[in-house]
Structure 1
Amino acid sequence: MIQLMSVNFDDHIPNWRTQLETIQYNVLVVVREGKVKYEINGEEIIAEEEDVLFIPQSTRRSGGNWNGIPHRKYTILFTTDPHVPTGIPFLGGGQCLKFNLAHIQYAYRRCERLFEEMRGGKSYRSMICQGIMQELLGMLARELEKTELPPSKRNYADTIKSYLLDHYREPIEIDKLAKLIHRSPNYATALFKEVYGHSPIRYMHQLRVLEACSLLLHSDMTIAHIAHYLGYYDTSYFYRMFKKYTGLSPSDYVQQGDRSDVSKLFT
């Protein structure tokens, strides 16, 4: 049985730190931006953007901003009943683990939903929070079962991903991505899909649509302006891509507002 204690979102806290202590609960850290430094049982561990860190109960732990630079992360504190099996092997291992999830953007959305639900008072809140937490832990357990990728493959895929994060608003050509790692276009596409679960072009569209969701809700830009800003010079094509990944038209998404769950973008 998993018992949630709290879910926190640290958003660029200037002097964030936790004192050195032996914790009596498990901690799941999901870093969204920047880096965070922990001392865990005498060992320094740096978790950065897109890292997920599991710190088990009875660990001696302290933490703080890396080099004094604020970061953004979700921190989930929870306990388990030692007499009730969870079905999640790593929870009973007593080891600190650092993960790289193929679907990290989806994990961000689930953490965001969990954070919101924990602070709400709607019916079935406890059941929904339990479901989200079990899903996150299941994703991590599945990640541990994957065959370990050679470091070279991970590095190649990370190189392509970093380029896409910086240039997703620009036209993306597979040939150019392949040249980044000095491999063929077919190899680059297959490699990226092996590591992250989808093609580079799909990932580009996901990033564009995710930003479109934010701009639709939090800017005064028109739909046509947003489409052009994100590299869709045909507004009708932007409409098709947006509906493909969210299930809604841009106008319908605005009407639903913050109630819309864009986590489906990364399934």
Structure 2
Amino acid sequence: MRLQIDNVRHDAGPVKWYEEAERESPVWTLILVGYGKCLYWVEGEKLLLEKGDLALIPDHTVFYGKTIPSISHEKYVVTFSHEDGASMLPLLGAHRYIRLRTGKYELLLSRMQSMKEQWIERHPYYQTMCQALLLETLTHMNREVDEGEHSSIKYRHTELMKTYIQNHYREKVTKEHLAAVIEKSPNHAAVLFREVTGQTISDYVNALRIKTAVYLLRHSQRAIADIADYLGYCDASYFHRVFKRETGRAPSAYVMDREPAQL
């Protein structure tokens, strides 16, 4: 299967937005909403998308979308075409749009953010990287579609575990900690977390830490070693390895983009 990306777009804030596609459009449209709400009409059917919603609209589908007055939103949009994608991913053989409230929101948001960064900054082999990230995103989406929506209790337990991690990610977080939160066994907590989020507990913690690290590298005057220690990495070299694995760049690359200190 070959994916050919046409564009990667990031819409954010209260700015008015409108787009449409005619029957002749040869590209598919993948949308992930980061926050707020936006509105589409697909083949005349109203489609309201909110935070955590994924939507995949096939090629040759008539649709238009626009902002909702007084409601800001953020979304990532990838338009692409493919050659015989349905042979590997059944959802690429769909003739009607697919909407999914993903349980893997944080994972897929990071993939869409990476796609946007690669597309804008044109790093070497950026097209290959974007194709790989898109394929991973579509694969996760197809798995969730096949599995069906998670039960309300699974989703609620996962959200409780996420909340605990978001409040303690600078500390050591184990499956025993999360098991205590949902009053289940440690192994049950670890398996459930990965099933719903698509990430291990360690991967999820590291992703939160690195997201914070990127912000601090760009918007504070802290040294790299200080940031690593603040985020719970006692070994600075390990922080560098994890950071590069998660972002594809060294921490020093973000320091170069740092905002100047206020006098």
If the length of structure 1 is used for normalisation, what is the TM-score?
A: 0.71
What RMSD, in angstroms, separates the aligned Cα atoms of the two structures?
3.8
Say which SS state the counterpart of residue 2 (structure 1) adopts.
strand
Q: Which residue type is aligned with residue 91 of structure 2?
A: F
Segment of structure 1 superposing worse, 163-172 or 216-225: 163-172
Partners of 1:38 and 1:45 within 8 A in 2: yes
Instruction: Return the alpha-carbon distance in structure 1 between the equivalents of residues 191 and 44 of structure 2.
Output: 40
Which of 44, 55, 80 is the matching residue for 1:53? 55
**1:1-267 equivalent positions in 2, closer than 5 A:** 1-18=2-19, 24=25, 25-66=27-68, 68-81=70-83, 87-101=88-102, 103-119=104-120, 124-146=125-147, 149-165=150-166, 168-169=169-170, 181=182, 183-184=183-184, 186=186, 187-200=188-201, 202-223=203-224, 226=227, 230=231, 232=232, 237=234, 239=236, 242-243=239-240, 245-246=242-243, 253-257=250-254
Alpha carbons of structure 1 residues 203 and 241: separation in structure 2 relative to 1, 3 Å: farther
Alpha carbons of structure 1 residues 255 and 195: separation in structure 2 relative to 1, 3 Å: same
Q: Shift of residue 206 of structure 1? A: 2.8
Q: Shift of residue 10 of structure 1? A: 1.0
For structure 2, list consecutive stretches of 5 or more residues without a partner in the other structure: 257-263
CA deviation profile, 1:92-130 (whole Å, cap 9, x unmatched): 111222235555444334333433444456665544443
User: What is the count of residue pairs matched by the alignment?
Assistant: 250
What does residue 264 of structure 1 align with?
A: none
Q: Shift of residue 158 of structure 1? A: 2.5
If the length of structure 2 is used for normalisation, what is the TM-score?
A: 0.72
Say which SS state the counterpart of residue 34 (structure 1) adopts.
strand
Alpha carbons of structure 1 residues 39 and 155: separation in structure 2 relative to 1, 3 Å: farther
Instruction: Return the alpha-carbon distance in structure 2 between the equivalents of residues 228 and 126 of structure 1.
Output: 35
CA deviation profile, 1:203-222 (whole Å, cap 9, x unmatched): 23431232113312432123
Instruction: Return the alpha-carbon distance in structure 2 between the equivalents of residues 11 and 59 of structure 1.
Output: 25
Q: Shift of residue 241 of structure 1? A: 6.0
Q: Shift of residue 71 of structure 1? A: 1.8
Partners of 1:7 and 1:114 within 8 A in 2: yes
Partners of 2:86 and 2:92 within 8 A in 1: no
Q: Which residue type is aligned with residue 75 of structure 2?
A: K
Say which SS state the counterpart of residue 46 (structure 1) adopts.
strand
For structure 1, list consecutive stretches of 5 or more residues without a partner in the other structure: 260-267
Q: Shift of residue 75 of structure 1? A: 0.7
CA deviation profile, 1:225-259 (whole Å, cap 9, x unmatched): 535654x3xxx6263762463368xxx93334489
Instruction: Return the alpha-carbon distance in structure 1 between the equivalents of residues 17 and 146 of structure 2.
Output: 34
Partners of 1:160 and 1:177 within 8 A in 2: yes
Q: Which residue type is aligned with residue 6 of structure 2?
A: M
